[in-house]
A and B are shown apart, each in its own frame.
Chain A
Amino acid sequence: MDLFLKVQEFLEKGYKSKAMNELASFLANNLNARKVLIFLYEPMRELFRLVGASSDEYENHIGKHKIPLQKIESSEGEIELKDLGFDSEEKGKILPLKFGEENLGFILAVDPHIQNSTDVLEKVGGALRFLAKYRYLEESVHKYQLMSRFTTLFEHTRDLGELYTRVLEVAVDVLEAESAMIWEREGEEYVLRSYKNLEEDIILRRKVEADHTFFSKFKEGTVLILNPDISLGLNDLIDLKLKSILVSSYRANDEIKGLFVVINKKERKGYRPFKKFDDFDVSLLAEITRRFSLALSRLEYYERLKEEVEKLEELRKRHEKLIEVQRDQLMKMETVYNVSQAMRSSYSLTNVYKILLLGLIANRGFNFDRALLLLRDTKRQVLIGKLWVGPQDEKEAESFMEKMRQRSLKYGDIVQYFREEAMTFDASSGLTPKIEGKIFHYKGHPILERAVLRKRIVYVNSRIIESFGENLRDILDILETDEFIVMPLVGRWDTLGVVIMDNRFTKRSISDSDLEILKLLSESAGLAIENIMNYEELREKTISLERQKDLIDYLRRFSESILQNLDAVVIVLDGGGKILEWNKKAELVFGYPRERMIGSRLENLGAEFENILAVALKVFETKETISMANYMFTMEREEKYFDIRFSPLWNPSGTHIDGVIITFEDVTDRYKMEQERKRQEKLSALGEMAARVAHEIRNPISVIGGFIKRMKKHIDEPETLTRYVEIVLNELERLERIVSEILEFSREAKKLEYTEFNINDLVREVYTLFEDPISKKNIKFQFDTGRENITVFADRIRIKQVLINLIQNAIDATPKNGNIRIKTEDMFERVRVSVWNSGSSIPKHIQDKIFQPFFTTKIQGTGLGLSICKKIVEDEHNGSIWVESDEEGTSFIFEIPKKGV
């Protein structure tokens, strides 16, 4: 018999195999004994267990019969079977099974006849010991192999949920456990996060308070509990018979996150003296949770990082979008101006129409796909198709747009491009034939009526089309698109027609800001068309007159007609201020009839005209043309702006002046557009400001902080402290100045408070503020007054601010022993103040930038001083400010109207 094979069979198959019985029979034979029983020692429990017998009568005891260790130690050699718990009167001899000093069990031999059995017993012991050890090692290797699955798992799992599921799978495999679960701490509770091999109906709770018995027992580390009882509290959570459990804490990012609970060792094949988790399992689980914790930390960190990156990306996109929108708006605003400009510079009505439509579809214009012009016939109350530009269909779209783009690139001046493109562009073919002469009734039409009669820009989309349905059929059949804009062309009195734009091919969406900007175009284009219509009407008249060949009459009427039909107000005054001429436009604009005005006096019309008269009288003195820009009239509570020109009217021989011709050009649109542009510029300047402010205030703050730290160090030295306090105060003042300049620049224009005051008094008052620094630098200060009393009507505080800034700059720029000279001059309707200093000259390229916000050459200061001056003088007081510089020195000069705006 091969002892080894028998022992191996037993270890692998357990009690089921009869290998141990066969071994017992073999030994009985060998020892010549009546019976042999084999007991093996279980060190964990300190007992011996019956594993095999040579006789069938013990069949029911095998694997079950146990004998405590003390029993065998105390009885040497012979022992009664009764004493070992068997129902027998026999005696047996105990033959220990050993390997070296290690106790492996014993053999109980009844009536042995061979005394010297050492040899065979050593063989059995050796086989048991060697094979058990071999098996243990083999299993350990297998477990370590399973553990290596972790490494792969942790390296490749990017998903948190998957990590939990997989770690449980591996743990159950490696530890040969029945089941496992993970409880995670969430606030004041523990939550069953994940589990493996647990039936739904045995899970009693999935959430418990953190101070629950079970969780309050475990803080940190890995423990093995061999005989869990009710006091453990685990049976509150799962309804399962517990034999042995392993509990281990795990962490994420340095915090204990929860508990890993592994339940019951699985039933395994073969002979197992110990059926629960052991110390080796404890160290395995400790290793599993350690790696799990690492993976969790890494994943959580990774998740957070991903979130941060996404957030940043989102922010960046939003920011870029904003800038894009703003840039687009500014560009379109400029387009309004360019298109209007081009329209005004043409004298052919057809060309003006073409310029308008091209402006709407050009990529350097509004970039719509198509634009359709319908002109209004007031008598018949219809709109008539006139021109339609754009690609005819999808196929043509790309090449059409590309061709337009190529042509526009040849021009630097966009106005020039619109004009020349209009002349060469053939608008009679293509889309135009589809609509030419086609009639649309606007009365009662849901969209056209709103555009024509209420002068509104109408944006139409699929929702609006749905609600109006069939009533829109006439337009929809032609346009074949469900998103478009109808823009009225608004003239001085009435709507002249409408333009319909769409993006049928490119499907670009139309924004609210587009509509806002189109409002501007709607009016300025209408006015431009009306101007040309007047002009054409005039030309037609001229032609019929020419036919009469009544040249003198024609000329007289022609000039009269020009005068009367001119788009500008024309007023002629004689030397005494009496009105000689008052044209039709003047009637319209000021609302006084010609018959009543001729022969009457201008100043009777109110304060605004008093100024006009004063300037006109000045022309008799200077004999030169005088211009005034953006002069404001308030008419019916609406502000209108005019460019006014005063020209001398010479007598026929050119020897003296008979009168003054005053022309008023309505520039309200232009003026408003300029204001809007200024506002936009300021907005972008404000954006830049945030960054600059951060930098400007950082330096003083560093200095203040640094010295305050030093103060702490030198608290016992009064002299040093005083010096430091001086410096800190100094820097605080500087901080305050920076902050107040920024506030000053960024504040919205507030209502100005106009008072009457003498500008010379104000200059003297400001001078006293600077007496100290001026004398410190030994600067020679000179003040020349034009007239002693120059009264101006302006916001005194704001003008004082201008003087302070200019004089401060002059002092900064003047070297020691230098000169500063201030001069005031009465310029009739304006007052001029110049502040000159003998500092070095300012190069031309810097002069151009000097009034821009944040431009500075100085060491200190925000670079806002001069831009604040410009704002006060030009924006608030309708004046002007500029710089003149040569080798001698530099002057900053400003002029404001004496009588306010």
Chain B
Amino acid sequence: MGKRILIVEDEPNMRLLIREELEEEGYDVEEASNGEEALEKFKEAEYDLVTIDIEMPGMNGLELAGRIREMKKDAKIILLTAYSHYKGDLSSWAADAYIIKSMDFQELKDTVNKLLSK
């Protein structure tokens, strides 16, 4: 059985795209369209890694990352954003990696593979 990844992303098409890219790498992928849903799923099942979009309505990605970290100290978290100016503050966040969304999902895939040491 492959490793399990949870994608938290509010835009359906972006979510689908990330899902397809990661499934191709051989992962089991689950989706959540907002922070609340993500927390529910995270309570119910074990995930090896979570990717979170920072800009979401309601609970934003940074808050969600913090909550997940509280629940599971060694959870692997990747933050995604369309803004490039967050990068400087990365160290203050509870994330393992930080990726700026672009057409190229190679960086995301590489980072996921590295974190799950495939």
Minimum CB–CB distance from B76 to chain A (whole Å) comes to 22
Which of A143-151, A259-267, A291-299, A698-706 has 4 or more CB atoms under 8 Å from chain B? A698-706
Q: Which residues of A contact B17 (CB under 8 A)?
A: 703, 706-707, 710
Q: Which residues of A contact B13 (CB under 8 A)?
A: 703, 707, 727, 730-731
Contact with A along B1-44 (1 / 0, CB 8 A): 00000000011011011001100000000000000000000000
Determine if B103 is an interface residue (Cβ-Cβ < 8 Å): yes
Give the distance in Å from the alpha carbon of A727 to the alpha carbon of B11 in the complex. 12
Q: Name B82's contact: one of A698, A704, A731 (CB within 8 Å).
A: A698
Contact with B along A684-713 (1 / 0, CB 8 A): 000000000001001101111111111000
Check A695 against B82 for contact (C-beta < 8 Å).
Answer: yes
Determine if A317 is an interface residue (Cβ-Cβ < 8 Å): no
Query: What is the interface residue range for chain A against chain B?
Result: 20 to 34
Give the distance in Å from the alpha carbon of A698 to the alpha carbon of B17 in the complex. 15
Minimum CB–CB distance from A370 to chain B (whole Å) comes to 46
Minimum CB–CB distance from B30 to chain A (whole Å) comes to 19
Check A702 against B82 for contact (C-beta < 8 Å).
Answer: yes
Contact with A along B82-118 (1 / 0, CB 8 A): 1100000000000000000111110000000000000
Give the distance in Å from the alpha carbon of A501 to the alpha carbon of B60 in the complex. 54
Q: Which residues of A contact B101 (CB under 8 A)?
A: 698-699, 702
Check B21 against A706 for contact (C-beta < 8 Å).
Answer: yes
Give the distance in Å from the alpha carbon of A709 to the alpha carbon of B18 in the complex. 12
Determine if A858 is an interface residue (Cβ-Cβ < 8 Å): yes
Check B102 against A702 for contact (C-beta < 8 Å).
Answer: yes
Minimum CB–CB distance from A735 to chain B (whole Å) comes to 12
Give the distance in Å from the alpha carbon of A445 to the alpha carbon of B51 in the complex. 77
In chain A, positions 695-745 with a C-beta closer than 8 Å to chain B are 695, 698-699, 701-710, 727, 730-731
Give the distance in Å from the alpha carbon of A695 to the alpha carbon of B57 in the complex. 15
Q: Which residues of A contact B82 (CB under 8 A)?
A: 695, 698-699, 702
Give the distance in Å from the alpha carbon of A90 to the alpha carbon of B13 in the complex. 110
Q: Given that A730-B13, A859-B57 are contacting pairs, would A706 and B105 also be in contact in the complex, using a CB cutoff of 8 Å?
A: yes
Give the distance in Å from the alpha carbon of A378 to the alpha carbon of B105 in the complex. 80
Check A702 against B14 for contact (C-beta < 8 Å).
Answer: yes
In chain A, positions 649-707 with a C-beta closer than 8 Å to chain B are 695, 698-699, 701-707
Determine if A118 is an interface residue (Cβ-Cβ < 8 Å): no
Give the distance in Å from the alpha carbon of A699 to the alpha carbon of B53 in the complex. 11
Q: Given that A706-B21, A709-B103 are contacting pairs, would A699 and B83 also be in contact in the complex, using a CB cutoff of 8 Å?
A: no
Minimum CB–CB distance from A320 to chain B (whole Å) comes to 18
Q: Given that A695-B83, A706-B21 are contacting pairs, would A859 and B11 also be in contact in the complex, using a CB cutoff of 8 Å?
A: yes
Determine if A857 is an interface residue (Cβ-Cβ < 8 Å): yes
Minimum CB–CB distance from A733 to chain B (whole Å) comes to 11
Check B103 against A857 for contact (C-beta < 8 Å).
Answer: no
Give the distance in Å from the alpha carbon of A688 to the alpha carbon of B37 in the complex. 32
Give the distance in Å from the alpha carbon of A859 to the alpha carbon of B16 in the complex. 16
Most buried by B among A704, A705, A860: A705
Check B102 against A705 for contact (C-beta < 8 Å).
Answer: yes
Q: Name A858's contact: one of B57, B83, B105 (CB within 8 Å).
A: B57
Contact with B along A210-245 (1 / 0, CB 8 A): 000000000000000000000000000000000000
Check A727 against B103 for contact (C-beta < 8 Å).
Answer: no
Minimum CB–CB distance from A276 to chain B (whole Å) comes to 59
Give the distance in Å from the alpha carbon of A209 to the alpha carbon of B27 in the complex. 63
Q: Given that A698-B82, A702-B101 are contacting pairs, would A727 and B57 also be in contact in the complex, using a CB cutoff of 8 Å?
A: no
Q: Name A701's contact: one of B20, B83, B103, B105 (CB within 8 Å).
A: B103
Chain B residue with minimal CB distance to A697? B82
Check A699 against B105 for contact (C-beta < 8 Å).
Answer: no
Q: Given that A695-B82, A698-B82, A703-B11 are contacting pairs, would A710 and B103 also be in contact in the complex, using a CB cutoff of 8 Å?
A: no
Q: Which residues of B contact A858 (CB under 8 A)?
A: 57
Minimum CB–CB distance from A51 to chain B (whole Å) comes to 75
Check A710 against B20 for contact (C-beta < 8 Å).
Answer: yes
Give the distance in Å from the alpha carbon of A731 to the alpha carbon of B105 in the complex. 18
Q: Name B57's contact: one of A704, A706, A857 (CB within 8 Å).
A: A857
Give the distance in Å from the alpha carbon of A704 to the alpha carbon of B14 in the complex. 9
Q: Name A702's contact: one of B10, B57, B83, B103 (CB within 8 Å).
A: B103
Chain A residue with minimal CB distance to B34? A859
Give the distance in Å from the alpha carbon of A730 to the alpha carbon of B12 in the complex. 11
Most buried by A among B13, B102, B105: B13
Q: Which residues of A contact B103 (CB under 8 A)?
A: 701-702, 704-706, 708-709
Minimum CB–CB distance from B35 to chain A (whole Å) comes to 13
Q: Which residues of A contact B104 (CB under 8 A)?
A: 705, 709
Contact with B along A727-771 (1 / 0, CB 8 A): 100110000000000000000000000000000000000000000
Give the distance in Å from the alpha carbon of A731 to the alpha carbon of B104 in the complex. 17
Chain A residue with minimal CB distance to B18? A706
Q: Which residues of B contact A731 (CB under 8 A)?
A: 13
Q: Which residues of B contact A701 (CB under 8 A)?
A: 103
Q: Which residues of A contact B56 (CB under 8 A)?
A: 859
Minimum CB–CB distance from A693 to chain B (whole Å) comes to 12
Most buried by A among B21, B83, B101: B101
Minimum CB–CB distance from B32 to chain A (whole Å) comes to 14
Q: Which residues of B contact A705 (CB under 8 A)?
A: 102-104
Q: Which residues of B contact A860 (CB under 8 A)?
A: 11
Give the distance in Å from the alpha carbon of A859 to the alpha carbon of B57 in the complex. 6
Chain B residue with minimal CB distance to A704? B103
Give the distance in Å from the alpha carbon of A525 to the alpha carbon of B99 in the complex. 58
Chain A residue with minimal CB distance to B53? A699
Q: Name B11's contact: one of A699, A707, A709, A857 (CB within 8 Å).
A: A699
Give the distance in Å from the alpha carbon of A706 to the alpha carbon of B21 in the complex. 9
Q: Which residues of A contact B14 (CB under 8 A)?
A: 699, 702-703
Chain A residue with minimal CB distance to B17? A706
Most buried by B among A701, A707, A730, A859: A859
In chain A, positions 835-892 with a C-beta closer than 8 Å to chain B are 857-860
Give the distance in Å from the alpha carbon of A698 to the alpha carbon of B14 in the complex. 11
Chain A residue with minimal CB distance to B108? A706
Contact with B along A622-649 (1 / 0, CB 8 A): 0000000000000000000000000000
Check A727 against B102 for contact (C-beta < 8 Å).
Answer: no
Give the distance in Å from the alpha carbon of A859 to the alpha carbon of B56 in the complex. 7
Q: Which residues of A contact B21 (CB under 8 A)?
A: 706, 710
Chain B residue with minimal CB distance to A696? B82
Chain A residue with minimal CB distance to B83? A695
Give the distance in Å from the alpha carbon of A153 to the alpha carbon of B20 in the complex. 59
Give the distance in Å from the alpha carbon of A860 to the alpha carbon of B11 in the complex. 8
Q: Which residues of A contact B11 (CB under 8 A)?
A: 699, 703, 859-860
Give the distance in Å from the alpha carbon of A730 to the alpha carbon of B14 in the complex. 12
Chain B residue with minimal CB distance to A730? B13
Q: Which residues of B contact A706 (CB under 8 A)?
A: 17, 21, 103, 105
Minimum CB–CB distance from B61 to chain A (whole Å) comes to 14
Chain B residue with minimal CB distance to A709? B103
Chain B residue with minimal CB distance to A858? B57
Give the distance in Å from the alpha carbon of A352 to the alpha carbon of B11 in the complex. 61
Minimum CB–CB distance from A705 to chain B (whole Å) comes to 3
Give the distance in Å from the alpha carbon of A858 to the alpha carbon of B17 in the complex. 21
Give the distance in Å from the alpha carbon of A201 to the alpha carbon of B54 in the complex. 72
Minimum CB–CB distance from B60 to chain A (whole Å) comes to 12
Most buried by A among B82, B102, B105: B82
Give the distance in Å from the alpha carbon of A710 to the alpha carbon of B56 in the complex. 25
Q: Which residues of B contact A699 (CB under 8 A)?
A: 11, 14, 82, 101
Contact with B along A502-523 (1 / 0, CB 8 A): 0000000000000000000000
In chain A, positions 78-128 with a C-beta closer than 8 Å to chain B are none
21 inter-chain pairs at a CB distance below 8 angstroms, sorted by A residue, are A695-B82, A698-B82, A698-B101, A699-B11, A699-B82, A702-B101, A702-B102, A703-B11, A703-B14, A703-B17, A705-B103, A706-B105, A708-B103, A709-B103, A709-B104, A709-B105, A730-B13, A731-B13, A857-B57, A859-B11, A859-B57
Given contacts A702-B103, A706-B21, 6 further A-B contacts (CB under 8 A): A699-B82, A702-B14, A702-B102, A705-B102, A708-B103, A730-B13
Q: Nearest 6 A-B pairs (CB), nearest first? A: A705-B103, A698-B82, A706-B17, A702-B101, A703-B13, A727-B13
A residues whose Cβ falls under 8 Å from a Cβ of B? 695, 698-699, 701-710, 727, 730-731, 857-860
